[in-house]
């Protein structure tokens, strides 16, 4: 009897344990459902109803804190930070994201890099590119060392955004297009692909290529519509407006810009709203509606002055310099010279500050990428496997390529200044033969023959040597050398090279087909036996390489 009682009691205890276990599992399932449902609602609203997204994020934070679920608290902060960023409250978004990051500080979870990227995005939108670079670089370094392909592409895309913002447009465009292909091949989120296309579109606009901008923009717009990303749609509306502005189609431009304006005013996004108002003002200026232009352009300044501030740092739109410029021009058109001078001064002062700031960020870009490479190399030294060795080589190549890019970027700026100076000299001070007065009849006769030989373009003959030229001029090499020195102030080689290079420059300017020749063939045409020799003498005469001169000349002649 006692034995039977014990057996029944044990069975009873087991049933109680099973019941409690089932209750615990049911409770966990219920918690999971609540969390998943709230996250789903937040994500649905994060691109269209920011207030709802923020409200539900706060509810999820409170619920997760009551359950001591730190990972869910972090995820809720992430979504709230995204909504605040899209709303335009950048500093509040940064504070929210930083707070959320503390809940996963010592955990290795995918969300960690998402937080860093989102903080970087908020800094970029707040015109603080150098701060953003710090966060993007942390993601880039982690992704490179730990083979996180998706994070690597995301970080690289965002670093391209900074390059574009500080004026490295060509480099940014190549990066964007490369990362767009990678994002598609890796089947990344559609939001990432759409934002990459937005970057390509915006960079083409900066490079004054509206047709290419519209081509890539339409692809991104289609994706944004598909995923119901109203923010993305409004951004593409702005870019389409800018594209049609560049195509001088101001009516179509205004239709897109006004659509964007209505939406951006509702969500109070100062960066995009300022950009939109600027281009509406610019369209009105082009349509000669100067008073309307002034109204919209002053609204740009108003948005800037009323936007969120941190300490004494004000929000300054990217178009601020051009805003002052158009205000100055509009007032001139209305005959108000005093107001025009005021805005001209504001423009000049802002330009100086902007140039200094961009130079600082360019330097940081180089230092930052070098530091990443050094950390990669240091990490590789601790291991001996092939994969780490590959990373080391990749880091070195990255470091060298970045250094070369910076070097050629500086060189390009120097070349550009030299080209512009050369064109200005050619347009304002056309070359004239130096008048020479010589009494000696024999010298005058030789010079007359030289003039005739020049007219026949004998200097283009690759066999044009001192001896052959002297023979044609009916004199001897020694006497010809002396005449060139005294009458023209040149040695034989200086004389011939000057004639050849001047001929090359003039023909390149006037002959479209000649500009299509390879440097090797141009060199042969003007008397040089090798392209290296031609390039050396061309650069010595002009300060730039012939290939660069031809490329810039094409642009110059088109404009």
Q: List pLDDT tens digits, range 428-438.
A: 554 444 444 44
The predicted structure's pLDDT at residue 257: 94
Both structure tokens of 259: 């659509």
| Banded model confidence at residue 170, pLDDT cuts 50, 70, 90 | confident
The predicted structure's pLDDT at residue 416: 67
- CB burial of 502-539 (b: ≥16 within 10 Å; e: otherwise) equals ebbbebbbeeeeebebebeebbbbbbbeebeebbebbb
Most confident of 22-26, 398-402, 539-543: 539-543
The predicted structure's pLDDT at residue 383: 45
| Banded model confidence at residue 304, pLDDT cuts 50, 70, 90 | confident
User: Region 200-209: what's the mean pLDDT?
Assistant: 88
Rounded distance between C-alpha atoms, residue 299 and residue 314, angstroms: 16
Q: List pLDDT tens digits, range 307-316.
A: 654 444 455 6
Residue 310: phi, psi to the nearest 5?
-120, 115
Give CA separation, 85 vs 28, 53, 96, 160, 363, in Å: 33, 12, 10, 19, 27
Helix residue ranges, H only, 46-128: 50-66, 70-87, 90-102, 111-125
Of the candidates 247, 236, 237, 174, the residue with the CA atom closest to the CA atom of residue 210: 247
| Banded model confidence at residue 178, pLDDT cuts 50, 70, 90 | confident
Rounded distance between C-alpha atoms, residue 39 and residue 72, angstroms: 9
Of the candidates 415, 97, 122, the residue with the CA atom closest to the CA atom of residue 269: 122
The predicted structure's pLDDT at residue 312: 40
Q: List pLDDT tens digits, range 389-413.
A: 555 666 666 666 666 666 666 666 6
| Banded model confidence at residue 95, pLDDT cuts 50, 70, 90 | very high
Q: Is 10 a residue whose pLDDT tops 70? A: no
Higher pLDDT, 550 or 385: 550
Helix residue ranges, H only, 429-528: 441-455, 466-472, 477-483, 492-510, 519-525
| Banded model confidence at residue 30, pLDDT cuts 50, 70, 90 | low
Length in residues, the chain: 559
> What is the residue whose two structure tokens read 């030299």?
418
Q: Is 320 a residue whose pLDDT tops 70? A: yes
Give CA separation, 83 vs 100, 146, 432, in Å: 14, 29, 67
Helix residue ranges, H only, 105-209: 111-125, 129-146, 149-165, 169-185, 190-206
Q: What percent of the chain has pLDDT over 70?
A: 75
| Banded model confidence at residue 207, pLDDT cuts 50, 70, 90 | confident
- CB burial of 210-222 (b: ≥16 within 10 Å; e: otherwise) equals bebbbebbebbbe
Both structure tokens of 19: 């019941």
Asked if residue 179 lies in contact with residue 157, where contact means CB atoms within 8 angstroms, the answer is yes
What count of other Cβ atoms lies within 10 Å of the Cβ of residue 337?
11
313 beta partners? 310
Rounded distance between C-alpha atoms, residue 311 and residue 295, angstroms: 29
Of the candidates 543, 500, 549, 545, the residue with the CA atom closest to the CA atom of residue 525: 500
Asked if residue 475 lies in contact with residue 452, where contact means CB atoms within 8 angstroms, the answer is no
310 beta partners? 313
Rounded distance between C-alpha atoms, residue 133 and residue 120, angstroms: 7
∠ Cα 557 200 182 (to 5°) = 130
Three-class SS state of 390 = helix
Rounded distance between C-alpha atoms, residue 525 and residue 306, angstroms: 63
> What is the residue whose two structure tokens read 């010298």?
443
Q: List pLDDT tens digits, range 33-52.
A: 677 787 788 877 877 788 88
Q: List pLDDT tens digits, range 338-360.
A: 888 898 888 878 776 654 444 55
Rounded distance between C-alpha atoms, residue 31 and residue 307, angstroms: 40
| Banded model confidence at residue 112, pLDDT cuts 50, 70, 90 | confident
The predicted structure's pLDDT at residue 94: 92
Give CA separation, 254 vs 233, 242, 247, 323, in Å: 16, 9, 12, 17
Q: List pLDDT tens digits, range 363-383.
A: 555 545 445 445 544 554 454
Q: Is 254 a residue whose pLDDT tops 90? A: yes
Q: Lowest-confidence range among 125-134, 327-336, 524-533?
A: 125-134
Of the candidates 448, 555, 546, the residue with the CA atom closest to the CA atom of residue 505: 546
User: Region 189-210: what's the mean pLDDT?
Assistant: 89
Instruction: Tell me the pLDDT of the chain averaged across its residues.
Output: 79
Asked if residue 269 lies in contact with residue 87, where contact means CB atoms within 8 angstroms, the answer is yes
Q: Lowest-confidence range among 6-20, 286-300, 516-530?
A: 6-20
Asked if residue 541 lies in contact with residue 498, where contact means CB atoms within 8 angstroms, the answer is yes
Q: Is 26 a residue whose pLDDT tops 50? A: no
pTM: 0.52
DSSP type of residue 333: H
Give CA separation, 428 vs 124, 423, 425, in Å: 43, 8, 5
Q: Is 83 a residue whose pLDDT tops 80? A: yes
The predicted structure's pLDDT at residue 393: 64
Higher pLDDT, 501 or 322: 501
């Amino acid at each position: 009897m006692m034995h039977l009682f014990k057996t029944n009691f044990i069975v009873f205890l087991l049933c109680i344990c099973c019941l409690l276990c089932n209750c615990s599992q049911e409770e966990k399932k219920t918690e999971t459902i609540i969390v998943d449902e709230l996250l789903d609602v937040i994500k649905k609203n994060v691109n269209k109803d920011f207030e709802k997204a923020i409200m539900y994020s706060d509810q999820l934070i409170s619920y997760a804190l009551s359950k001591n679920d730190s990972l869910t608290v972090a995820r809720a902060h992430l979504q709230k930070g995204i909504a605040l960023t899209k709303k335009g409250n950048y500093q509040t978004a940064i504070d929210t994201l930083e707070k959320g990051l503390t809940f996963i500080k010592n955990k290795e979870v995918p969300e960690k890099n998402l937080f860093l990227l989102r903080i970087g995005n908020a800094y970029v939108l707040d015109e603080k590119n150098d701060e953003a670079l710090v966060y993007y670089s942390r993601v880039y370094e982690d992704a490179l060392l730990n083979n996180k392909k998706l994070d690597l592409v995301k970080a690289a895309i965002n670093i391209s955004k900074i390059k574009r913002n500080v004026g490295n447009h060509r480099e940014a465009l190549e990066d964007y297009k490369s990362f767009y292909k990678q994002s598609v091949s890796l089947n990344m989120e559609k939001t990432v692909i759409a934002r990459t296309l937005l970057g390509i579109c915006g960079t083409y606009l900066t490079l004054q290529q509206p047709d290419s901008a519209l081509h890539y923009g339409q692809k991104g717009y289609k994706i944004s519509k598909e995923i119901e990303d109203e923010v993305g749609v409004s951004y593409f509306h702005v870019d389409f407006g800018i594209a049609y502005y560049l195509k001088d189609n101001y009516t179509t431009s205004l239709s897109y810009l006004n659509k964007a304006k209505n939406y951006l005013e509702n969500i109070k996004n100062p960066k995009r709203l300022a950009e939109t108002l600027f281009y509406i003002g610019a369209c009105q200026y082009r349509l000669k509606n100067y008073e309307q232009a002034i109204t919209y352009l002053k609204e740009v300044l108003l948005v800037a002055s009323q936007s969120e501030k941190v300490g004494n740092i004000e929000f300054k739109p990217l178009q601020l310099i051009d805003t002052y410029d158009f205000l100055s021009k509009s007032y001139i058109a209305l005959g108000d010279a005093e107001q025009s001078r005021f805005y001209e001064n504001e423009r000049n002062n802002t330009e100086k500050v902007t140039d200094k700031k961009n130079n600082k960020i360019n330097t940081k870009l180089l230092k930052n990428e070098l530091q990443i490479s050094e950390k990669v190399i240091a990490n590789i030294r601790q291991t001996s496997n092939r994969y780490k060795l590959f990373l080391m080589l990749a880091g070195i190549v990255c470091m060298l390529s970045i250094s070369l890019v910076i070097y050629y970027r500086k060189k390009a700026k120097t070349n550009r200044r030299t080209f512009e100076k050369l064109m200005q000299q050619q347009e304002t001070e056309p070359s004239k033969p130096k008048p020479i007065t010589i009494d000696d009849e024999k010298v005058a006769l030789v010079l007359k023959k030289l003039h005739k030989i020049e007219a026949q373009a004998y200097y283009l003959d690759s066999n044009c040597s001192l001896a052959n030229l002297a023979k044609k001029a009916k004199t001897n090499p020694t006497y010809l050398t002396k005449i060139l020195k005294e009458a023209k102030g040149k040695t034989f080689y200086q004389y011939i090279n000057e004639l050849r290079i001047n001929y090359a420059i003039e023909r390149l300017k006037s002959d479209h087909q000649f500009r299509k020749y390879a440097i090797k063939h141009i060199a042969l045409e003007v008397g040089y036996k090798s392209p290296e020799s031609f390039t050396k003498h061309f650069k010595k005469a002009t300060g730039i390489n012939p290939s660069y001169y031809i490329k810039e000349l094409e642009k110059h002649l088109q404009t």
